């Protein structure tokens, strides 16, 4: 993988997802760290280039959106990894950050957020109960998350779009 470019990260993330599905935890951890370092290196390099020359503002904004999108996907992968190894606090932290980053670009009603919400429901299904939490409360939370996913897809199929965000797609 080229450590000077973010162009290969989406394919690299697909590779990580395959290892997550196979439950190859050591490989996932290794590849997540490589992906994170690649993205951080890219951010550092772009900061250095900004100091050297002025980049077109519109192009710079698109690059920043792409990096935010990549960071969101990487955080989702970290959340899934932490969920798989039962590190629930780290999982919800990464999942929350992933949802926020993606929502800032595409909006909270984007179909691209449905996998995030799906893993949020998984988090609530797998997380041990708190002292004052009941099974019924947990089921209500999970059901509401699934209803949100259904509503987002319903709006997508009906062609409803929020004009305040780039688009409603992945």
- Classified as helix, coil or strand, 168 is coil
**Residue ranges covered by each domain of the chain:** 9-158
What are the Cα distances from residue 49, in Å, to 6, 29, 42, 52, 60? Answer: 15, 30, 11, 5, 11
Q: Is the dihedral of CA 9, 126, 100, 45 positive or negative?
A: negative
The tens-digit pLDDT sequence of the chain (170 residues) is 444 467 778 888 888 888 888 888 888 888 898 888 888 877 665 555 554 454 456 667 888 888 899 999 999 999 999 999 999 999 999 999 999 999 999 988 899 999 999 999 999 999 999 888 899 999 999 999 999 999 999 999 998 876 666 554 54
Q: Is the distance from CB of 103 to CB of 145 less than 8 angstroms? A: no
Res 34: pLDDT: 84
**Which CATH number, 1.10.10, 3.30.310, 1.10.287, 1.25.40, labels domain 9-158?**
1.25.40
Q: Is the distance from CB of 83 to CB of 126 less than 8 angstroms? A: yes
Q: Tell me the pTM.
A: 0.81
Angle (CA) 133-138-143 rounded to 5° is 160
């Amino acid at each position: 993988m080229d450590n000077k470019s973010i162009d290969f990260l989406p394919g690299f993330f697909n590779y990580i997802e395959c290892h997550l599905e196979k439950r190859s935890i050591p490989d996932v951890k290794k590849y997540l760290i490589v992906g994170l370092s690649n993205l951080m290196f890219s951010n550092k390099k772009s900061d250095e280039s900004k100091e050297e020359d002025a980049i077109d503002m519109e192009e710079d904004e698109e690059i920043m959106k792409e990096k935010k999108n990549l960071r969101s996907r990487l955080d989702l992968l970290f959340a899934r990894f932490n969920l798989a190894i039962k590190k629930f606090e780290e999982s919800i932290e990464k999942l929350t950050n992933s949802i926020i980053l993606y929502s800032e670009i595409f909006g909270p009603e984007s179909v691209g957020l449905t996998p995030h919400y799906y893993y949020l429901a998984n988090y609530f299904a797998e997380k041990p109960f708190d002292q004052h939490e009941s099974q019924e409360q947990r089921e209500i939370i999970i059901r509401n998350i699934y209803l949100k996913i259904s509503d987002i897809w319903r709006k997508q199929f009906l062609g409803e779009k929020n004009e305040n965000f780039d688009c409603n797609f992945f």
